[in-house]
Chains A and B, each alone.
Chain A
Amino acid sequence: MTEPLIEAAQLSKTVVTAAGELTVLDDITLSVAQGESLAIIGESGSGKTTLLSLLAGLDQPTRGKLRLFGSDLATLDEDGRAALRLGRVGFVFQAFHLLPSFTALENVAAPLELAGIDGAMQRARSALEKVGLGHRLDHLPRQLSGGEQQRVAIARAFAVEPVLLFADEPTGNLDQATGARVSNLLFDLSSCGTALVLVTHDPKLAARCQRQMRLDGGRRVA
């Protein structure tokens, strides 16, 4: 049996506030295998986004063990964790987070060039064609609709052919119809073997994942 991509055991995250110590996440244990999809659901403030940032190595837990691609993240510094993500992890954010001064093509080519992949522009072009934006290559994000921007973000995430994709409320900023088109695209592309960790409070979207995990007040409740 292959090693899980993510292995988290008893993860906790506390932050210090003016009112004292606040536990944001408490005792979370989970694992994600290759090609698997996991939805993290819960109300606002339940700790979903904090958990996603810990799993992606963007932040560090206060307690607990976390392995990403078999590496213990506690033993790695920020650069080490970044190197682990390079070329293997994709992100889709709620607010799209495209580089505003880069064209759609440049935005998609950016992670390919960063990973040192040859023919970055060609691959970026074909990724954009896959999401139906072959005619919008030279447009700046501000010239695109919200749905188009999220499709560029999806093209950027899949262009590197990631092993693992993190999506944080990918349809949160979109209307229902556009959101449905974007989620179809997301699941179509990840069906080729990419593991998906999806944070959402949309039950319909969560239901499309193989597994669901519900958080409440920082604790896993289901």
Chain B
Amino acid sequence: MNFLFTLVKHARREWRGAELKPVLAALIVAVAAATGVMAFTDRVERALNARGSELVGGDGLLASRLPIAPEIVTRARDSGLKTSSVVAFPTVLFAGDLSVLVEIKAVESNYPLRGKLTAAPSAEAQALTAAPPAPGEMLLDPRAVAALEVQVGEMVDIGNARLRLAGVLRDDPEGAGSFLSFAPRALLHRDDVEALGLIGPASRAFYRLLIAGEPARINAFAEAIKPTLKGVRLTLAQDAEQQLAEVGRQARAFFGLAALSVLWLAALAIALTARRYTQARRDIVAQLRCFGLSRRRILLQLGGTLGVYALPAVALGVALGYGLQYMIAAGVEAIFAEPLPAPTLRAGGLGALVGVLAYFAFTMPALQQLTATSPARLLRNADDQLGWREIAAYPIALLVLTAAIYVLTGEGQVGVIAFIGISVLALCIASLLGALLRLVRWKPPGRRFATRQAWRQLASRPGTTLLSATSLALALTAVLLLGVVSSDLIRQWRSGLSSDTPNRFLLNIQPDQRAALTERLTAIGIEDPALYPFAVGRLVAINGARPVPENFDDPRAARFIDGTLNLSWSESLPDANTLTSGSWWSQGDEVSIAENWAQSLGLKVGDTLTVAIGDREVTARIASVRSVDWDSFRVNFFLLFKPETMTGIEGTYITSVRTNAEQGKALGRLLREFPNLTLIDVDALLSRILGVVDAIVSSLSAIFWCALAAAACVLLAAFAVTVGARRFEHALWRSLGAAQSTLRATQRLELAAIGAIGGGFGGVAALVTGWALAGNAFQIEYAAPWWIAPLGAGIGVVLCLSAGWIVLRSVSRTPPAQMLRA
């Protein structure tokens, strides 16, 4: 009781000092960031886990670009399994003058085999369990209902048919693409598909066969069927669950690593402030030791004081963390079709634990050293260099932090590598700044005393300057890269596309429709569209031997070997293609292949390929390898045959066109005349993909703003360390005759310079990263937003001046007479 009373009294006294507050600020930021990220990633993981079994809509599924062979269906039924077949393809729905691009899913009456289908009588009404649509009816996603402005009971045009809207689709258990759906979905009966006239070899239809039954039978069937599958992918529900769990783990690692930057800076701030806190107490501790107080008692008292204040700080950090997780989730939630599960206390608690671990780990070394203070300090002036106890305690602190990283990211090794990476980056920035400081010290710029003195002080306190500027640079690099450069890069990439890049694909054009379609396209202002023949095939042999995916290093090879191939044939080399080896057509059956395809399968000019197209097999020698500009958004193929080689092959045609808004609408209306065509709206697809990128960027930004807050804590801590020295300097300068205004200006200039250097460095680093991304990932000429560097510098100046105002404003009140009393 007596101890507690002393502790509270001591804690109250400590609060009046300036040392404790920055430690607590750093703790609050660390706990908030860790709690926010943990709570958020837990929500994502639970959302994904809950969908694991729903994703498949059965206990397993077989998927292919070609119809599932009837023998497979029969074999599944013979194995005692229930089956339900699904075909999915994109098309356009019409209601009056309105149209919308949707993903059609045609299902059988027993759909789904697992899970529940729910629908509502209107967009606002509550959803109830629903039967799959009967022939002649459809269920439609709320986004499509809104786009078509239709009510349940009204008719919707699709292909050659007209179906009645039977309800608004809510939950669809077979969620292939449901939680990351790019286009609204429409469910209709399998029996209606043929009448629509929309399915053809090039219609981008996907066929799936759902299977359900006892686990033993499922496994036995899967084992038996696997070796015979060609171009068909088998997924079991348990695999899907594992895959989603993996996605969840990756999300946790991804956001956890982002939060690592916050933890890194917060740990730095905690270590710095704790050291200052203990240094200021060395003489008191020496006295207490001299009076006979035990080391343990001193440790309990000081550690207890830190603990007493840690409690409310952690509570505040957790509360802020929960607020933060809503900000992080707000961005990502837009990707999911439905809200994420509510956050749990457990996840938040774990986040708080991470923050508290970092707090105690990084205050302990300094405390340890403090309690070891010798009473002899009172007799001789010992310096305050790092002691061996403190140095020895930091590796333990790092170990504890490693454990914290593991909790945060779920990735021990990657987390530690990232931690080391941030440290190395910080070291590089610090080295560059260090060189700059040496230059400044050698020849301080400026003519005014305040300017020269500010530079000189900046250089004479390299520790403070480097810590502050480096922390600012690190945090601002992340914030500016995500906040400005990334969105600017994407915007420039997209506007770069818009000049003449095709934005609509038309597929499944029948040979007899070519002339009429070209005429109609010309009528709406699309001149001379290039129509390419198109067929679907499967790779059967390379140089006469059947390829085995396991023999190839590149994982994409399996997809090329097991999946279906889109083929074409052409007399001339298409635009956006360049030959890298071989020559264009000469003698015999020949094929030209894309460079990346050749690399994946280890092919070269002179090799032969055998491809099965329908019931025919075509063997051709590789005449050339082409580099293809896939970013051109033109019709491009991995395999391009010599027309003579493909004689007798019946294909459909495909084209890509550039349309403006009006032509886009006209193209939609054109589909009424040619209902079998499939229209792919690249603009809409790109918007949806970029929407996802934006959502993730905005979520990450929320975390990196925390990094900036942690950097502000480092600034507070680093400036606070200098308070004593600044008071002394202020008194000295005043005694030498310096005006108050001169000294204030000197201090402001010094702080502003730290902010400008650190912030400017952050801005430049973000720009350089942007350039590197533009050159390598986006391959565009990047008009970099140069104003980011001054913006970073400006933010840095504001932050440093604010931190200086908080911590250093008392310095100017130091009386000059103090010089004679020190």
Q: Taking beta carbons and an 8 Å cutoff, which residues of A are in contact with B? A: 49, 52-53, 56, 58-59, 78-79, 82-89, 91, 93, 95, 97, 99-102, 106, 110-111, 113-116, 168
Cβ 8 A contact of B729, one of A84, A91, A99: A99
* B819–A97 CB distance below 8 A: yes
Residue of B nearest to A59 (CB): B817
* A86–B738 CB distance below 8 A: yes
* B735–A91 CB distance below 8 A: yes
Contacts of A58 in B (CB 8 A): 734-735, 815-817, 819-820
Contacts of A86 in B (CB 8 A): 736-738
Stretch at the interface among B174-182, B449-457, B701-709: B449-457
* B739–A79 CB distance below 8 A: yes
* B738–A114 CB distance below 8 A: yes
> Known: A101-B460, A114-B449. Contact between A82 and B738, CB under 8 A?
yes
Contacts of A82 in B (CB 8 A): 734, 737-740, 816
Please give the distance in Å from A96's CB to the nearest CB on chain B. Answer: 10
Q: Taking beta carbons and an 8 Å cutoff, which residues of B are in contact with A? A: 449, 452-453, 456-457, 460-461, 725, 728-729, 732-742, 815-817, 819-822
Residue of A nearest to B742 (CB): A114
* A59–B741 CB distance below 8 A: no
* B461–A101 CB distance below 8 A: yes
Please give the distance in Å from B736's CB to the nearest CB on chain A. Answer: 5
Please give the distance in Å from A185's CB to the nearest CB on chain B. Answer: 20
Contacts of B452 in A (CB 8 A): 113
CA distance A114 to B821 in the complex (A): 23
CA distance A95 to B728 in the complex (A): 12
> Known: A95-B822, A114-B733. Contact between A83 and B456, CB under 8 A?
no
> Known: A58-B815, A100-B725, A116-B449. Contact between A52 and B737, CB under 8 A?
no
Please give the distance in Å from B441's CB to the nearest CB on chain A. Answer: 9
CA distance A93 to B736 in the complex (A): 12
Please give the distance in Å from B737's CB to the nearest CB on chain A. Answer: 3
Contacts of A84 in B (CB 8 A): 737
Contacts of B820 in A (CB 8 A): 49, 52-53, 58, 93, 168
* A59–B737 CB distance below 8 A: no
- Secondary structure type dominating chain B contacts: helix
* A97–B738 CB distance below 8 A: no
* A111–B729 CB distance below 8 A: no
Residue of B nearest to A85 (CB): B737
Contacts of A101 in B (CB 8 A): 457, 460-461, 725
Contacts of A83 in B (CB 8 A): 737, 739
Please give the distance in Å from A108's CB to the nearest CB on chain B. Answer: 12
Q: In the complex, given contacts A78-B740, A88-B737, A114-B742, what are 4 additional A-B residue pairs having Cβ atoms less than 8 angstroms apart?
A: A91-B819, A99-B729, A113-B449, A114-B738
* B736–A114 CB distance below 8 A: yes
Please give the distance in Å from B447's CB to the nearest CB on chain A. Answer: 10
* A97–B822 CB distance below 8 A: yes
> Known: A82-B737, A85-B737, A114-B449. Contact between A99 and B732, CB under 8 A?
yes
* A113–B822 CB distance below 8 A: no
* A102–B456 CB distance below 8 A: yes
CA distance A86 to B740 in the complex (A): 13
Residue of B nearest to A157 (CB): B736
Please give the distance in Å from A3's CB to the nearest CB on chain B. Answer: 20
CA distance A83 to B740 in the complex (A): 10
Q: Can you report 11 residue pairs joining A to B where beta carbons are below 8 Å apart?
A: A56-B735, A58-B817, A79-B739, A79-B740, A88-B737, A101-B457, A106-B456, A106-B460, A110-B453, A115-B737, A116-B449
Central interface residue in B449, B728, B740, B820, by most chain A CB within 10 Å: B820
CA distance A116 to B450 in the complex (A): 11
* A97–B732 CB distance below 8 A: yes
Cβ 8 A contact of B736, one of A59, A91, A95, A168: A91
Cβ 8 A contact of B821, one of A49, A102, A113: A49
Contacts of B815 in A (CB 8 A): 58-59
Cβ 8 A contact of A97, one of B728, B741, B742, B817: B728
Please give the distance in Å from B805's CB to the nearest CB on chain A. Answer: 21
Q: Which 10 A-B pairs have the closest CB atoms?
A: A86-B737, A101-B460, A85-B737, A58-B817, A59-B817, A53-B817, A58-B816, A111-B736, A82-B737, A49-B820
Contacts of B819 in A (CB 8 A): 58, 91, 93, 97
CA distance A49 to B456 in the complex (A): 32
> Known: A58-B735, A91-B735. Contact between A113 and B740, CB under 8 A?
no
CA distance A102 to B452 in the complex (A): 13
Residue of A nearest to B460 (CB): A101
Contacts of B742 in A (CB 8 A): 114
CA distance A106 to B453 in the complex (A): 10
Please give the distance in Å from B463's CB to the nearest CB on chain A. Answer: 10
Contacts of B725 in A (CB 8 A): 100-101
Contacts of B460 in A (CB 8 A): 99, 101-102, 106
Contacts of B456 in A (CB 8 A): 102, 106
Please give the distance in Å from B444's CB to the nearest CB on chain A. Answer: 10
Contacts of B740 in A (CB 8 A): 78-79, 82
Contacts of B453 in A (CB 8 A): 110, 113
Central interface residue in A82, A83, A87, A106, by most chain B CB within 10 Å: A82
CA distance A89 to B460 in the complex (A): 26
Contacts of B739 in A (CB 8 A): 79, 82-83
CA distance A86 to B820 in the complex (A): 18
Contacts of A113 in B (CB 8 A): 449, 452-453
Contacts of B737 in A (CB 8 A): 82-89, 111, 114-115
